[in-house]
Amino acid sequence: MPLPRLLPPLLLLTLLAGCTVGPDYQRPSAPVSTQFKEAAGWKAASPRDDQAKGAWWQRYDDPQLSALLAQVEVSNQNVAQYQALYRQARALVRESRAETLPSATLDAKATRSENGSSSSGSSNSSSSTAGGATVRNAESLSLGLSWDLDLWGKLRRTLEEDRASAQASAAELANATLSAQAELAQDYFQLRVLDRRLALYDQTLADYRRYLAVIQNKYDEQLASRADLAQARTQLESADANRLALTTQRAQLEHAIALLLGKPPADFTLAVDPRWQARLPEIPAGLPTELLERRPDIAQAERQVAAANAAIGVATAAYYPDLTLSASGGYQSSLLGELFKTPSRFWSLGPTLSGTLFDFGATRAGVDQARAAYDAKVASYRQTVLTALGEVEDDLVALHVLGPELAAQRRAVAAARDSASVTRDQYEAGIIDYLDVATTQATQLSQEQSLLQLESSQLVTSVQLQMALGGDWQAARLADAP
């Protein structure tokens, strides 16, 4: 059929190509409350709080922590894995986009064949006869064009699915990065508090050695009992054993930080800093609905729902036939020198319509499978939102309780120090035995260690709350994804 006669049908088919089967995506509802249950008295988010202030960890005002966390995106191997998966997802989007456009192929071929028949060949091939066999030469050069018109939107739904999957991969990468940074920050704070706990043990051990020397002198002068000497030695050795246990914990935390930075533990060291002091930042709780935009795991789950919705359209398009326009042309000849001459030219042009007439319900099963997968993703999305709300509530109440708990513990430490001071004076005055002194000193050490542990818990919980609130991440960043 001449090309002018093909133009009207082609224009009609182009208009039909705007049809897209399957449901258009609408974000599913999420079980979000109007406010956090445990946010009473908590610092509310103001418009200023939503402005960019840099990375979330800068709120702690710790340069060394900031330097470590900035390396996670570059060196952490789990993050590198998700970066590679994201690049893979982006490449799949480019591939799906290319499938919606025409494609061209170039074919060049030269053959030489032989058969036993001595019959003459076609006019487009050269032949020679040797020993009763016919040898033929054939050369050809052709260009082919093909275009799937995508009448029912199958390719467009596929592209939509792949774009949503790539955005889900971008959110997954953000979530992996955020999790690795949060884990490193928690390990760092625990290590720094251990530095202070070790320093406290060092000071206590120095005091215990002085008391042991005094009691040894008294024992030598028969002014102290052997029980007092044994008690002082027991107290010293017990404290020394506890200190050694803390050094093991510190080394393990240092190793964990090294692994999060993508380094062998042998190549990483954090110098001891017994004077380190924490700065607990104010963290605006905001509203529960903000989690939908601030948590990358929620954004990932929502994008997976969008991908599953597009997959329904892809499955539904299998009900309808595919239409492909193809054209080819070129030259073929038995002589290379005659290849590009007019008599050697050929061409073809025409549409191809193909579809399934009967498949025993396979297409319907595919659509039902896609719809069930969509329902599963919606349920997963809603559960992710519920889990996020629960994490925020847990961390809010934990920080609420830790405040007064720390205040009570500081009072307990002050009382324990006063008690230990009084018993030392009483022992030196000969009023009580050393057992009473050892008991109050052990209580003082225990209370001071408990205070530092609570400070560590407070810092760790503050990091967990920032992660539960999404850190400084915003779902708007997915707009830059494919």
| pLDDT tens per residue, range 7-53 | 555 555 555 556 888 899 999 999 988 888 887 766 655 544 444 44
| pLDDT attached to residue 338 | 61
Phi and psi at 333, nearest 5°, equal -160, 160
Question: In what helix (H) or strand (E) does residue 84 lie, and over which residues does it extend?
Answer: helix 77-99
Listed residue (193, 171, 189, 180) closest to 69, CA to CA: 180
State whether CATH 1.20.1600.10 applies to domain 8-100+150-320+361-480. Answer: yes
CB atoms within 10 A of CB 92: 19
Handedness of CA 295, 301, 304, 305 (dihedral sign): negative
Tokens of 304: 């997976």
Question: What per-residue string of b and e applies to 93-132 under the rule 16 or more CB within 10 Å gives b?
Answer: beebbeebeeeeeeeeeeeeeeeeeeeebeebbbbeeeee
Nearest CA to 410 out of 368, 373, 448 is that of 448
The DSSP-derived string for 236-292 is HHHHHHHHHHHHHHHHHHHHHHHHHTT--GGG------TT------------GGGHH
Question: For the chain, what is the largest distance between any 2 Cα atoms, rounded to a whole number of angstroms?
Answer: 131
Q: Which amino acid is at 175?
A: N
Give the tens place of pLDDT for each residue, 430-466. 888 888 888 999 999 999 999 999 999 999 999 999 9
Q: What tokens were used for 102?
A: 């025409």
Partners of residue 110 on adjacent β-strands: 139
Instruction: Specify the DSSP class assigned to residue 71.
Output: T
Which CATH number applies to 106-148+325-354: 2.60.40, 2.20.200, 2.40.10, 1.20.120?
2.20.200
Token pair recorded at residue 86: 């994201």
Q: What is the pLDDT of residue 342?
A: 59
- pLDDT per position in the chain (482 positions), as tens? 444 555 555 555 555 556 888 899 999 999 988 888 887 766 655 544 444 446 899 999 999 999 999 999 999 999 999 999 999 999 999 999 999 899 898 887 777 777 765 444 444 445 555 555 777 777 777 788 888 888 898 999 999 999 999 999 999 999 999 999 999 999 999 999 999 999 999 999 999 999 899 889 988 888 888 888 999 999 999 999 999 999 999 999 999 999 999 999 999 999 999 999 988 888 877 788 888 999 999 999 999 999 999 999 999 999 999 888 888 876 776 665 566 665 667 777 888 888 888 889 999 999 999 999 999 999 999 999 999 999 999 999 999 999 999 999 999 999 999 999 999 899 888 888 888 888 999 999 999 999 999 999 999 999 999 999 998 888 888 877 76
C-alpha to C-alpha distance for 455 and 106, rounded to whole angstroms: 71
Q: For the chain, what are the domain ranges?
A: 8-100+150-320+361-480, 106-148+325-354
Instruction: Report CA dihedral (366, 371, 372, 378) to the nearest 10 degrees.
Output: 150
Contact 193, 459 (CB under 8 A): yes
The rounded distance, in Å, linking the Cα atoms of 231 and 218 is 14
pLDDT of residue 323: 87
Contact present, 132 and 314 (Cβ < 8 Å): no
Task: Measure the CA–CA gap between 147 and 136, rounded to whole angstroms.
Answer: 35
Residue 473: phi and psi, rounded to 5, are -85, 150
pLDDT of residue 209: 93
* This prediction's pTM: 0.84
Residues 38, 399: Cα–Cα separation, whole Å: 10
49's CB contacts (< 8 A; 6+ apart) are 284, 286
Gap between the Cα atoms of 129 and 121, Å rounded? 11
pLDDT number for residue 49: 43
Residue 411 CA: distances (Å) to CA of 197, 284, 402, 438:
18, 29, 14, 21
Q: What end-to-end distance do the CA atoms of the chain give, in Å?
A: 41
Residues 45, 399: contact at Cβ < 8 Å?
no
Q: 149 φ, ψ to 5°? A: -70, -15
∠418-441-416 over CA atoms, to 5°?
30
Residue 458: helix, strand or coil by DSSP? helix
Torsion of CA 89, 94, 100, 105, to 10 degrees: -120
How many residues are given for the chain? Answer: 482
- Whether residue 134 contacts residue 119, with contact meaning beta carbons closer than 8 Å, is answered with yes
Give the C-alpha separation, 216 to 317, whole Å. 92
Q: What is the 3-state secondary structure (H, E, C) of 138-165?
A: EEEEEEEEEEECCCCCHHHHHHHHHHHH
